[in-house]
Structure 1
Amino acid sequence: MLLSLSIKNYALIESLETDFSNQFSVITGETGAGKSILLGALGLVLGNRADLTSLKDKEQKCIIEAQFAISNYNLQSFFEDNDMDYEDKTIIRREILPSGKSRAFVNDSPVNLQELQELGAMLLDIHSQHQTRELTEENYQIEILDAVANNVELLTSYKIALSDFKSIQKELKQLIEEKETLVKEHEYNSFLLNELLAANLVEGEQETLEQELEQLSNVEFIKENFERVLAIANEEQVGAIVNLKEIKLALQKVANFSISNAQLLERMSSSLLEIEDIISECEQSNDKIVADPERLELVNTKLQTIYTLQKKHQVQTIAELLVIQNELDAKVIRVDDLDGAINKLASDLKVKQKKVDEIAYSIFENRKKAAPILIEKIRTILAQLGMLEANFQIEINHSDSYGVKGKDEVVLLFSANKGTSFGLLKKVASGGEMSRIMLAIKAILANYSKLPTIIFDEIDTGVSGEIAIKMGEIMKEMSKTMQVFAITHLPQIAAKGNSHYKVSKRNLGETTISELNLLTTEERIQQIAEMLSGKDITESALQHAKALLN
């Protein structure tokens, strides 16, 4: 329930603070006096976007603050989920800075516009003239029907079940697409994998094979040089070993004459041993070197295979080829694994779909039962509003498609007069009829909805006289279960309010300002009389105003 509203530096309002009653309040005033400004300010509190044109003084910030009593509406969980401080009397504040930036606060905690809009939707319904068009939209018609059908819990369950169903459906689709892609590539991937497996690759073998190829390709040259080394070393008369032994023998003869001579002998002995070891290894290597054309061809073939594979896969090493081999192996195996995953998901999907279908059908059944009840309630109220022959049909078709509100297609058909055929509301209902139908529906929803406050902005368009009195009575009846505001030009409706506020504007120096004032009983009589007869209030208008108020 809206307890109070404070507006500073907004449009034509310099400063305004007003408290509201919890019953039926009416707001009147001349065209252009500022009634739309009040709605604009409340719209900002509910999360509408703002700009600098909202500021009366462009150098000062605009502040709009609304206090709501919310203890009866079970909103604690919403506050917890959105990390807001809960208060039974919650204050929503909106600030527009001269820079154009906007800030919003709930109980002094900063919030974003989405959070503000979600909270606002649970606190206040502003019904303006253009929103009557909502009545012609299928989604809104379904919402009306669901309120009477008490489908709130079922719709919550349906939403959760549908989300689960679509999640698995999406995952299944992705797996099927992945399998289709892999199946298309499967034959080629298998070929590439088998090609790599046939090569029997071993990490590090490329360098070994390249060295072996080099040796096998130069056997004769290598053997020729080894044999030359052996010949030079082992020639009987002048071989290197013979000469070195002679040198060693000469050094032995002089070793005792000085320490340095002894050291030379020691070094010579070590060198001779090392050279003898080298010559021995050369003999062994020379014995091992054998021309092997078959091995040469085998090594050459293996290396060419490696080079070809590296070029094909655009890599430089066997290690990289082995990584590709493992990836191809995983892809080939993945096709078989996907079959199992797809079958499991398909089975899960059937279970989820069955659950969604069962909930959707329960929603459908409730809607079918609620349809005649809703029609009868609307007809009863419309009869009070002078539409005695008005009638409705609600067509509900259970389809195969999954919507956000179930699987039903709902169409509300209307006939204004007896004997006339039914048609779509937007095609057969006049503006005045639409206003009355909407009021009837809002009055019905007041008994099912937990919405604290509703504001009717000139819903009385196109009506007058006795019908206007009935509209006022219906709105007053609604105020027994919720807070109701009506912005109106009709004295018959204005007279039904428990509280009467007047919007007016006046010149203050060089500027014009709007004001909102709660009228006393005498001021109400004057205001309603003015609405009846104009600025020149007659005695009969005053008496008529008193009669309406009584």
Structure 2
Amino acid sequence: MLTNLSIKNYALIDHLNVKFTNGFTVITGETGAGKSILLGGLSLVLGKRADLSSLREKDNKCIVEAEFEISKYGLEAFFDENDLDYEKKTIIRREILPSGKSRAFINDSPVTLDILSQLGDQLIDVHSQHQTLRLADNDFQLKVIDALADNGKGLKEYASKLLLYQSTLKELQNLEDFQNSATKEHEYNSFLLQELISAPLKEGILEELEEQYEQLNNVEIILEQLSHGQQLLNEEQIGVVNLLAELKQVSNKLAGFGHQYSDINERIKSVFIELDDISNELNLLNEKVEADPQMLEQVNTKLQLLYDLQKKHKVQTITELLEIRNKLDEKVSATENVAVDIDRKKKELKLLEAALNTEASNLSKKRKSVIPNLKKQLEDTLIDLGMASATFKIELNPSKEFKPTGKDDLTFLFSANKGSSYGDLKKVASGGELSRIMLTIKAILAKYEQLPTMMFDEIDTGVSGEISNKMGDIMQAMSNSMQIFSITHLPQVAAKGVHHFKVYKEEELMGTNTKMKKLSAEERIVELAEMLGGKTLSDSALAHARQLLD
């Protein structure tokens, strides 16, 4: 419910602040007084695009602020999803800066126009003759039927299953696409994988083989150097080991003459042991080393294989080859297992399809059950609104595909006159007829669901006094369960309002200013009398005005 509206520096409005309450509120005023300006300002906080030319004073910013009581609207989830503070009394503010930039706030948190618009759609429904084309939209028509059928819970369950069905269908399509493309590559990938599996791939293998190759390829040099080393260590006359043995004997004799000599003796012993061990090691190596052309060939073959694989796969290390092997293994395995996955997904899809068909069938049954009642309510109400011959043809036909709202194709046709053929609403109904049909539908909807604040903008234009009286009755009845605004030129409608506001212009020093005030009981009589007979008030006009109010 809209509880307060403040507009600053917008078009002909300098500063306007108005409080509203629940029930039926009518807004009147002469043509050009600024009723459309009031709606324009309100539309800014509902998320409509801003126009810099609408600034009253070009150097100051325009601020429009609206306060809503939203405790009955169930909007907590919307606030959570958009990370906004939920307040039962929510304030929406829109600022248009002189630079042309626009800012929007919900409870002082900055938001995008898209979020503002989404919230605005759930707070106020502004309806004018120009917006009646929505009547011809199948989604809107189906929404009306679903409201009467109490399909809210069923639609949520259907939507949840549809989402799962669509994601599973997507997964199946991806698997089938993968299978089609992978089948072509499978043979080649298998060949590459087998090639890598056959290769001696392990961490450090390349360095190990390169070292082995160097040893086998240089046997003669190694043997020659080992022999030379043994000679240096063990030659009878000048061998290092023999000379060190003599040195050890000398140090043994000196060891008893003090710790400094014993230390030297121990060090010489250590050197002798180490050198003797080295001599033995060289001897063992010399015995092991032998020429093995066959082994050299084998090592060389393995090395060339690894070098070729690195070049083929454009990598530098064995680690990278191992990674490629693992990825190829995954691809080959996935290709070999995809048929099993596809079969499993098809079974899942079949079960989901059956569940969806059940949900869609339940929705359809409930819709069909309320269509006769909707048709009767529409036609009965339109009789009172001067459309005695208006009839509707509403049919549901099964659809082959799953739609966002089920598996129904809706046909919603209209005939305004007896004997006339049925056709789409937008093609066969006039603007005035569309307005009355929309009012009727909104009145029916109000009985079945909590609607937002509704603002009817001159939808009674061009209708007779008697018909406008009936339209006023409908709006008045709707206001028992919701907040209704009607901007009207007709006294018959204006008299039905519980609250009556007048929009008017005033000439001031700074220019013309649009203002708005709530009328007292006496002021309402004068306003209605002027709407009936013009500015010159006659006794009959005043009497008629009082009669309308009574």
Category of TM-score, reference length = shorter chain: 0.7 to 0.9
Which whole-Å CA distance do the structure 2 matches of 1:242 and 1:416 have between them? 127
1:63–1:93 contact (8 Å) kept in structure 2: no
What is aligned with 1:288? Answer: 288
What is aligned with 1:96? Answer: 95
2:239 partner SS = helix
1:177 partner SS = helix
Distance 1:473 1:240, change over 3 A: same
What is aligned with 1:532? Answer: 532
User: What is the TM-score when the length of structure 1 is the normalising length?
Assistant: 0.86
What is aligned with 1:324? Answer: 324
Q: Offset of 1:538 from its aligned partner?
A: 5.0
Which whole-Å CA distance do the structure 2 matches of 1:43 and 1:368 have between them? 37
1:475 partner SS = helix
1:85–1:109 contact (8 Å) kept in structure 2: no
What is aligned with 2:435? Answer: 435
Superposition pairs of residues 175-190 of structure 1, within 5 angstroms: 175-190=175-190
1:485 partner SS = strand
Using the TM superposition, name which of 473-482 and 187-196 deviates more: 473-482
Which whole-Å CA distance do the structure 2 matches of 1:276 and 1:488 have between them? 120
What is aligned with 1:241? Answer: 239
Q: Offset of 1:509 from its aligned partner?
A: 0.6
Q: Offset of 1:510 from its aligned partner?
A: 2.6
Distance 1:25 1:275, change over 3 A: closer
1:65–1:91 contact (8 Å) kept in structure 2: no
What is aligned with 1:523? Answer: 523
1:421 partner SS = coil
After superposition, give the CA deviation of every residue in 1:367-414 in whole Å (9 maximum; x if it has no partner).
222222111111111111211111111132221222222222212111
1:455–1:486 contact (8 Å) kept in structure 2: yes
1:201 partner SS = coil
What is aligned with 1:498? Answer: 498
Distance 1:294 1:429, change over 3 A: same
What is aligned with 1:124? Answer: 124
After superposition, give the CA deviation of every residue in 1:409-447 in whole Å (9 maximum; x if it has no partner).
212111111111111111111112212211221222221
Which whole-Å CA distance do the structure 2 matches of 1:343 and 1:394 have between them? 42
Distance 1:321 1:448, change over 3 A: same
Distance 1:299 1:70, change over 3 A: closer
Distance 1:291 1:96, change over 3 A: same
Distance 1:92 1:226, change over 3 A: closer
Using the TM superposition, name which of 153-162 and 121-130 deviates more: 121-130
2:436 partner SS = helix
After superposition, give the CA deviation of every residue in 1:24-51 in whole Å (9 maximum; x if it has no partner).
2221112221112222233233344446
2:432–2:461 contact (8 Å) kept in structure 1: yes
What is aligned with 1:510? Answer: 510
Using the TM superposition, name which of 215-224 and 376-385 deviates more: 215-224
What is the letter of the counterpart of residue 432 of structure 1?
G
1:245–1:272 contact (8 Å) kept in structure 2: no
Q: Offset of 1:275 from its aligned partner?
A: 6.0
Segments of 5+ residues of structure 1 without an aligned counterpart are none
Which whole-Å CA distance do the structure 1 matches of 2:254 and 2:357 have between them? 113
1:141–1:411 contact (8 Å) kept in structure 2: no
After superposition, give the CA deviation of every residue in 1:206-233 in whole Å (9 maximum; x if it has no partner).
2222222222223334434545555677
After superposition, give the CA deviation of every residue in 1:235-261 in whole Å (9 maximum; x if it has no partner).
77xx64299649948995998799999
Using the TM superposition, name which of 174-183 and 36-45 deviates more: 174-183
2:448 partner SS = coil
What is the letter of the counterpart of residue 216 of structure 1?
L
Q: Offset of 1:150 from its aligned partner?
A: 1.9
Superposition pairs of residues 142-157 of structure 1, within 5 angstroms: 142-157=142-157
Distance 1:242 1:532, change over 3 A: closer
Which whole-Å CA distance do the structure 2 matches of 1:261 and 1:74 have between them? 101
Distance 1:254 1:510, change over 3 A: closer
Distance 1:367 1:267, change over 3 A: closer
Q: Offset of 1:15 from its aligned partner?
A: 2.6
Which whole-Å CA distance do the structure 2 matches of 1:372 and 1:249 have between them? 125
1:104–1:113 contact (8 Å) kept in structure 2: no
What is the letter of the counterpart of residue 408 of structure 2?
D
Q: How many pairs align? A: 545
What is aligned with 2:106? Answer: 105
2:251–2:265 contact (8 Å) kept in structure 1: no
Q: Offset of 1:197 from its aligned partner?
A: 1.5
Distance 1:198 1:537, change over 3 A: same
1:291 partner SS = coil
Using the TM superposition, name which of 128-137 and 466-475 deviates more: 466-475
CA-atom RMSD, angstroms? 3.5
Segments of 5+ residues of structure 2 without an aligned counterpart are none
1:34–1:504 contact (8 Å) kept in structure 2: yes
Which whole-Å CA distance do the structure 1 matches of 2:510 and 2:33 have between them? 17
What is aligned with 1:486? Answer: 486
Distance 1:43 1:416, change over 3 A: same
Which whole-Å CA distance do the structure 2 matches of 1:543 and 1:253 have between them? 146
Q: Offset of 1:458 from its aligned partner?
A: 1.1
Distance 1:264 1:241, change over 3 A: farther
Q: Offset of 1:503 from its aligned partner?
A: 0.6
What is aligned with 1:387? Answer: 387
What is the letter of the counterpart of residue 478 of structure 2?
M
Distance 1:246 1:359, change over 3 A: closer
Identity of aligned residues (%): 49
Q: Offset of 1:79 from its aligned partner?
A: 5.8
What is the letter of the counterpart of residue 241 of structure 1?
G
Using the TM superposition, name which of 51-60 and 134-143 deviates more: 51-60
After superposition, give the CA deviation of every residue in 1:125-163 in whole Å (9 maximum; x if it has no partner).
211222111011111111122122221221122222222
Which whole-Å CA distance do the structure 1 matches of 2:252 and 2:159 have between them? 109
What is aligned with 1:44? Answer: 44
Superposition pairs of residues 301-450 of structure 1, within 5 angstroms: 301-450=301-450
1:64–1:94 contact (8 Å) kept in structure 2: yes
1:22 partner SS = coil
What is aligned with 1:10? Answer: 10
1:255–1:265 contact (8 Å) kept in structure 2: no
After superposition, give the CA deviation of every residue in 1:53-95 in whole Å (9 maximum; x if it has no partner).
55434555544444444555555666667653443xx242414
Which whole-Å CA distance do the structure 1 matches of 2:313 and 2:398 have between them? 56
1:447 partner SS = helix
Which whole-Å CA distance do the structure 2 matches of 1:307 and 1:80 have between them? 60
What is the letter of the counterpart of residue 511 of structure 2?
T
User: What is the TM-score when the length of structure 2 is the normalising length?
Assistant: 0.86
Which whole-Å CA distance do the structure 2 matches of 1:474 and 1:3 have between them? 23
Distance 1:313 1:468, change over 3 A: same
Superposition pairs of residues 247-286 of structure 1, within 5 angstroms: 248=246, 252=250, 278=278, 280-286=280-286
